[in-house]
Amino acid sequence: MNAAVFHEPGVVVVEDRPVPAVGPGDLLIKVRAASVCGTDLRISRHGHFKIAPGQHRVLGHEVAGEIVATGGPVVGYAVGDRVAVTPNVGCGRCGMCRRGLNNMCPDYEAFGVSLDGGFAEYLLVPAFAVQRGNVFGLPAGPPFGQAALAEPFSCCLRGVQAVGVGPQDDVLVVGAGPIGAFTVLLARLAGARRILVANRSRGRLDRIAGYGADTLIEVGDRDLVAAVRAETGGRGVDVAITAASSPQVQADAVQLLATHGRVNFFAGLGQGDPATPTTPRRWS
């Protein structure tokens, strides 16, 4: 089968690999769609602490496809099922996993990181990942290209829920890429009063308008803090969600919070980026 394989930072090779062998309890998925995440780009450029030097890894962790083989009977799954796969597999035993936070497990495995991922014609989901709930059946409707986005979309859902967006909230989303678009859509569904989106490029802002944004702010070289303060009459926003990987954006987002505001630093920072001290403005 064809697979896109990370060899070392800067080197990803499309190569021929054997179709994985299916062991007891495993599922073999014919990949129909796998989307490219910022994490894939970061790994391809800089590597990952869970990929040892010299180790090769098939990238890709946002995957939808069809089950084409099972390792014996696997309860709840059958050949022909349309499924989406979620990437992180918690150990199932630690304090984080017991709280349902398997994405915070210190001993996690993940497709496209410590396990071969979805940038290949076939993805093997090992029995332990099947048992820990990493494979979800799909309804008949959505095409695979949309279903592959279930994973980033669910991350955004969690991100919006974590800051408790509701009908009294003015919400600022910084970054108008796919994550920003999902966040806008979900903030709208959560009942946000007003949604402001800031981005550097006009093109992406125009595209996000249809997702429910009320105010589009082209930051350009314009200061984000000044622009949002002007738009909100100096009040700031109740919720800020950063969907752009930038320490400056994180610092600015904190400055823009109204009293009792909440912030979610959704987009992570690169390894070299220092965490910026972020002191909220004082109110007297």
Calpha distance 73→165 (Å, rounded): 43
Indicate the residue among 39 and 86 with the shorter CB distance to Zn ion.
Answer: 39
229 close to 236: Cβ distance less than 8 angstroms: yes
Calpha distance 117→57 (Å, rounded): 8
Structure tokens at 45: 């450029």
Calpha distance 281→284 (Å, rounded): 10
Q: How far is the CB of 91 from Zn ion (least distance, A)?
A: 3
218 close to 247: Cβ distance less than 8 angstroms: no
127 close to 71: Cβ distance less than 8 angstroms: yes
Indicate the residue among 113 and 124 with the shorter CB distance to Zn ion.
Answer: 113
Q: How far is the CB of 40 from Zn ion (least distance, A)?
A: 7
Residue closest to 247 by CA, chosen among 204, 281, 277, 279: 277
Q: Is 12 left (phi over 0), alpha (psi -120 to 50) or beta?
A: beta
Indicate the residue among 38 and 166 with the shorter CB distance to Zn ion.
Answer: 38
Q: How far is the CB of 67 from Zn ion (least distance, A)?
A: 22
> Would you tell me which residues interact with Zn ion (CB under 5 A)?
37, 39, 90-91, 94, 97, 105
Q: How far is the CB of 97 from Zn ion (least distance, A)?
A: 3
Indicate the residue among 132 and 188 with the shorter CB distance to Zn ion.
Answer: 132
Indicate the residue among 39 and 250 with the shorter CB distance to Zn ion.
Answer: 39
Q: How far is the CB of 2 from Zn ion (least distance, A)?
A: 21
Calpha distance 109→4 (Å, rounded): 19
- Name the 3-class secondary structure at 256: coil
Indicate the residue among 85 and 97 with the shorter CB distance to Zn ion.
Answer: 97
Calpha distance 85→91 (Å, rounded): 17
Q: How far is the CB of 105 from Zn ion (least distance, A)?
A: 3
Return the ∠ at Cα 55 (arms to 30 and 115), rounded to 5°.
35
Q: How far is the CB of 102 from Zn ion (least distance, A)?
A: 6
The β-bridge partners of 65 are 31, 83
Return the ∠ at Cα 167 (arms to 162 and 172), rounded to 5°.
60
Indicate the residue among 117 and 236 with the shorter CB distance to Zn ion.
Answer: 117
